[in-house]
């Protein structure tokens, strides 16, 4: 048999698959097997993507694999990995890297091994020795006593009895104790923050109706479209619908994948699935240890767990017979991967659900125009508790000298007086946005990027938010020696100090990337805010995600239209989602609530619709606008960025890529650029943007164009990145 093997090498130039002759003793090798193969002078790990009875290579040039690891990868995952590589202009090795068991790496041996522990049990002689008062040391006796109640892990036994390793080995030598190595699963801890789900188990009419819609699609015998959008306002009980839908899939003997934006920020959601389904839930995310990830993956692969909850990478969970994929908060931008392959988990989920005949259920309070346009809609317009959504007030910041409007101060003051809670969102971290010299007007900018540096006062640093560069805060201007340096703008760090001073003794909690991005740091802030009798939670967009704090009576969004000042066709959508999501966090308890939105342009349609909680109206307007401009969902957008150290080569490369795209233009695509982008991480950048009416041919042609141009020696030193569906 011939195995066609895709080598897992990061090199872009190597394009498999390559043929190998499988010897008779490797009879278990098949599609999805992992092999160690000789490759030139090296040995590399590869995946069998196909088998055949004959090869085009002459027999004497065919070599045999060196080792086989058995059939690791289900064929449908193999196909999915290769499809992602094609769809996102990446390499097969990188696409396969997404679906392989965690810890596979590109070496020739798996890097993560199952964890084994030494386990001690008492033998029959051991029981006799305890009974007849044999000569034993005090600690050895304590160890035997402890084991009389049942075997236990050796390390724990030694800890609890003070018996040493030598003592234990002595007991083993005398035949009183048996020691064995057993494999133990490493389980991640799923923690819940904030209020536990205390709603009653009976569903509202809207939930019942939505669930029935999902189940009907699950049971429909025809392979018609099973993609659905659950549009439910915040607090409408979408998670309960997901839970019931997962239960329905499990009842039908099928598995489920539940995608959540970021586990660290939404532990409540992950926790609810674990509570409801127990051991059949596996959690996969990047904050797990390598061992935990390895073990959770294999629990899914062996079918011991049938529900996988996790962020975007969980879309590749190795479950078989998939019946349901849930995408919670489907508007969230974290579903798009930043690095190569730049996949969008929502798009991959559609593909995977389609191939498996599974239902796709995307839920949100603020649907994307793409989803609204193409998915079957289910609607839950009211909150489960019957409360109305809080009133939203727009406050104009034109001619305001302060970061907080008097009206905002007044409402925060009421929160303090009433002893309730508020959430304040300012999507800008650090102390101030930039620093200038009062003497000569110098602006402190990043040496590697064309952006200004942000002052972080506690860290005493000026930092670049694009490349991570940081430098000490200057005392004087290096150009004119002036010491009058001015700080402009306000970030969360500065606002924290202002609020803490103005609202004392009310406690202010700050949540942004500087207060810690680890699970521990985020948990600490969220549990602290939840446990406090009253307080203010201040932070970047992290505070608008999924938390449920019933005592919050005030939500504030500062500089709400800042996002609209960026030239991005998704700016409107982002602004609407940010305000609407934060509005949903307020007024979920007895005391009701209100929301204040501070903005310069209070007439921006995104803000006006958000004040009316009018997602449908907003999306309708957005779709009309995008149809005119030829933006998604009425086209596929693909971005090519060329970059180089010096100015010039990147622009010529972008021009060369564009020149190869004329067949697309002839087919109705619009090609924009090359246009310069701001310098980032020391690299000059140029971009070509394609708006194509048909997706697949456009991606194919772009891939070829970029491959041809990048192989041309005239464009040496230029890096290329192709990003379909850029965010
Ligand atoms: Zn100066
Ligand atoms: Zn920088």
> Each residue of 387-443: pLDDT tens digit?
888 899 999 988 777 889 999 999 999 999 999 999 999 989 999 888 999 999 999
Q: How confident is the model at residue 545 (pLDDT cuts 50, 70, 90)?
A: confident
pLDDT tops 70 at residue 341: yes
For residue 678, how far is its CA from the centre of ligand 2 (angstroms)?
11
Residue with more model confidence, 357 or 548: 357
**Most confident region among 11-25, 183-197, 354-368, 534-548 by mean pLDDT:** 354-368
Counting ligands in written order, which one lies closest to the CA of residue 442? 1
Among 182-186, 276-280, 291-295, 329-333, which stretch is predicted with the lowest mean pLDDT?
A: 182-186
293, 101 Cβ separation under 8 angstroms = no
Q: How confident is the model at residue 140 (pLDDT cuts 50, 70, 90)?
A: confident
Give the per-residue pLDDT at 152: 76
For residue 461, how far is its CA from the centre of ligand 2 (angstroms)?
13
Q: Report d(CA 434, CA 320) in Å as an integer.
A: 52
Instruction: Look up residue 650 and give its DSSP letter.
Output: H
Say which residue the tokens 């070829």 belong to.
Answer: 704
Q: How confident is the model at residue 71 (pLDDT cuts 50, 70, 90)?
A: low
Give the per-residue pLDDT at 193: 36
Q: How confident is the model at residue 269 (pLDDT cuts 50, 70, 90)?
A: confident
Give the per-residue pLDDT at 240: 93
For residue 538, how far is its CA from the centre of ligand 1 (angstroms)?
34
pLDDT tops 90 at residue 519: no
What is the DSSP code string of 332-400? -GGGB-SSSS--BHHHHHHHHHHHHT-EEEEEESS--HHHHHHSEEEEE-S-TT-PPPPPEEEEE-TT-
pLDDT tops 50 at residue 601: yes
Among 40-49, 631-640, 646-655, which stretch is predicted with the lowest mean pLDDT?
A: 40-49
Give the per-residue pLDDT at 109: 53
Longest CA pairwise span in the chain (Å): 95
Give the per-residue pLDDT at 108: 52
Give the per-residue pLDDT at 105: 60
Counting ligands in written order, which one lies closest to the CA of residue 453? 2
Q: Nearest-CA neighbor of 358 among 275, 239, 258? A: 258
Half-sphere exposure of 512 (CA within 13 A, CB side): 21
- Extract the tokens encoding 185: 């699963």
For residue 474, how far is its CA from the centre of ligand 1 (angstroms)?
11
Residue with more model confidence, 675 or 16: 675
For residue 559, how far is its CA from the centre of ligand 1 (angstroms)?
29
* pLDDT > 90 in the chain, percent: 55
For residue 596, how far is its CA from the centre of ligand 1 (angstroms)?
39
Whether the model clears a pTM of 0.95, i.e. scores above it, the answer is no
Q: Report d(CA 727, CA 725) in Å as an integer.
A: 6
> Each residue of 91-113: pLDDT tens digit?
898 999 999 887 776 555 555 55
CA distances in angstroms from 373 to 180, 218, 576, 578, 723, listed in the order given: 59, 21, 17, 21, 22
Give the relative orientation of helices 571-584 and 615-629 as an angle to the nearest 10 degrees: 170
489, 432 Cβ separation under 8 angstroms = yes
pLDDT tops 70 at residue 153: yes
Residues with CB under 5 A from ligand 2 (ion): 446, 448-449, 464, 466-467, 469
Give the per-residue pLDDT at 201: 65
Q: Report d(CA 187, CA 168) in Å as an integer.
A: 28
Buried b / exposed e across 300-325, counting CB within 10 Å, b at 16+? bbeeebbbbbbbbbbbbbbbeebbbb
For residue 426, how far is its CA from the centre of ligand 2 (angstroms)?
22
What is the DSSP code string of 686-717? EEEEEEESSHHHHHHHHHHHHHHHHHSGGGTT
Query: For the residues 22-42, what does the mean pLDDT come to?
Result: 87
Half-sphere exposure of 606 (CA within 13 A, CB side): 27
Q: Report d(CA 527, CA 520) in Å as an integer.
A: 10
For residue 451, how far is its CA from the centre of ligand 2 (angstroms)?
7
Among 212-221, 323-332, 528-537, 546-555, which stretch is predicted with the lowest mean pLDDT?
A: 546-555
Q: Nearest-CA neighbor of 29 among 64, 79, 81? A: 64
Q: What is the mean pLDDT of the chain?
A: 88
For residue 457, how far is its CA from the centre of ligand 1 (angstroms)?
20
pLDDT tops 70 at residue 199: no
For residue 539, how far is its CA from the centre of ligand 2 (angstroms)?
23
Counting ligands in written order, which one lies closest to the CA of residue 441? 1
Q: Nearest-CA neighbor of 518 among 227, 265, 195? A: 265
For residue 481, how far is its CA from the centre of ligand 1 (angstroms)?
6
């Amino acid at each position: 048999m011939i195995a066609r093997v895709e080598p897992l090498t990061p090199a872009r130039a190597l394009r498999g698959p390559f043929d190998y002759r499988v010897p008779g003793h490797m009879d278990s090798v098949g599609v999805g097997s992992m092999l160690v193969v000789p490759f030139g002078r090296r040995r590399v790990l590869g995946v069998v993507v196909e088998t055949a009875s004959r090869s085009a290579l002459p027999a004497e040039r065919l070599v045999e694999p060196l080792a086989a690891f058995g059939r690791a990868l289900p064929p449908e995952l193999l196909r999915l990995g290769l499809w992602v590589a094609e769809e996102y202009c990446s390499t097969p090795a990188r696409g396969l890297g997404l679906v392989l068991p965690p810890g596979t790496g590109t070496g020739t041996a798996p890097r993560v091994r199952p964890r084994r522990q030494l386990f001690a049990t008492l033998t029959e002689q051991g029981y006799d020795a305890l009974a007849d008062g044999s000569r034993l040391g005090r600690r050895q006796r304590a160890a035997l006593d402890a084991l009389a109640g049942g075997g236990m892990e050796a390390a724990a036994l030694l800890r609890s009895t003070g018996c040493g390793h030598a003592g234990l080995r002595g007991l083993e030598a005398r035949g009183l104790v048996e020691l064995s190595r057993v494999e133990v699963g490493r389980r991640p801890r799923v923690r819940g923050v904030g209020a536990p789900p205390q709603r009653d188990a009976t569903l509202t009419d809207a939930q019942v109706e939505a669930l029935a819609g999902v189940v009907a699609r699950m049971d429909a015998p025809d392979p018609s479209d099973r993609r659905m959008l659950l549009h439910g306002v915040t607090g409408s009980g979408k998670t309960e619908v997901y839970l019931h839908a997962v239960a329905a899939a499990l009842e039908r003997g099928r598995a489920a994948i539940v995608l959540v934006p970021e586990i660290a920020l939404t532990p409540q959601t992950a926790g609810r699935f674990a509570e409801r389904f127990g051991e059949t839930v596996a959690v996969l995310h990047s904050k797990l240890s390598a061992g935990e990830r390895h073990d959770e993956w294999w629990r899914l692969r062996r079918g011991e767990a049938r529900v996988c909850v996790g962020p975007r990478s969980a879309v590749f969970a190795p479950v078989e017979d998939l019946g349901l994929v849930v995408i919670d908060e489907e508007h969230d931008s974290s579903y798009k991967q930043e690095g190569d392959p730049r996949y969008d988990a929502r798009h991959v989920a559609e593909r995977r659900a389609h191939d498996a005949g599974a239902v796709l259920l995307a839920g949100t309070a603020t649907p994307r125009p793409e989803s609204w346009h193409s998915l079957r809609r289910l609607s839950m317009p009211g909150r489960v508790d019957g409360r109305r959504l809080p009133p939203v007030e727009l406050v104009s910041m034109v001619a305001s000298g302060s970061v907080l409007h008097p009206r905002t101060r007044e409402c925060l003051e009421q929160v303090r007086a009433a002893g309730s809670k508020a959430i304040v969102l300012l999507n800008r971290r650090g102390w101030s946005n930039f620093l200038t010299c009062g003497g000569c007007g110098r602006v402190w900018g990043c040496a590697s990027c064309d952006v200004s540096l942000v002052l972080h006062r506690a860290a005493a640093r000026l930092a670049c938010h694009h490349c991570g560069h940081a430098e000490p805060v200057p005392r004087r201007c290096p150009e004119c020696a002036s010491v009058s340096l001015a700080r402009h703008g306000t970030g969360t760090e500065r606002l924290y100090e202002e609020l803490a001073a103005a609202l004392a003794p009310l406690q202010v909690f700050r949540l942004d990337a500087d207060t810690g991005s680890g699970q521990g740091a985020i948990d600490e802030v969220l549990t602290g805010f939840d446990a406090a009798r009253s307080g203010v939670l201040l932070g970047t967009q992290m505070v608008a995600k999924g938390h449920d704090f019933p005592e919050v009576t005030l939500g504030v969004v500062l500089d709400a239209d800042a996002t609209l000042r960026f030239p991005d066709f998704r700016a409107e959508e982002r602004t609407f989602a940010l305000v609407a999501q934060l509005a949903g966090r307020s007024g979920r308890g007895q005391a009701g609530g209100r929301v204040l939105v501070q903005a310069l342009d209070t007439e921006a349609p995104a803000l006006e619709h958000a004040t009316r909680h009018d997602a449908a109206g907003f999306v309708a307007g957005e779709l009309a606008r995008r149809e005119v401009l030829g933006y998604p969902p009425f086209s596929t957008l693909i971005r090519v960025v060329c970059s180089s150290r010096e100015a010039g080569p990147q622009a010529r490369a972008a021009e060369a890529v564009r020149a190869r795209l004329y067949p697309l233009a002839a087919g109705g695509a619009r090609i924009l650029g090359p246009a310069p982008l701001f310098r980032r991480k020391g690299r000059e950048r140029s971009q070509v943007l394609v708006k194509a009416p048909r997706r697949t041919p456009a991606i194919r042609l772009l891939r070829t164009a970029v491959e041809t141009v990048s192989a041309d020696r005239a464009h040496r030193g230029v890096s290329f990145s192709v990003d379909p569906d850029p965010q």
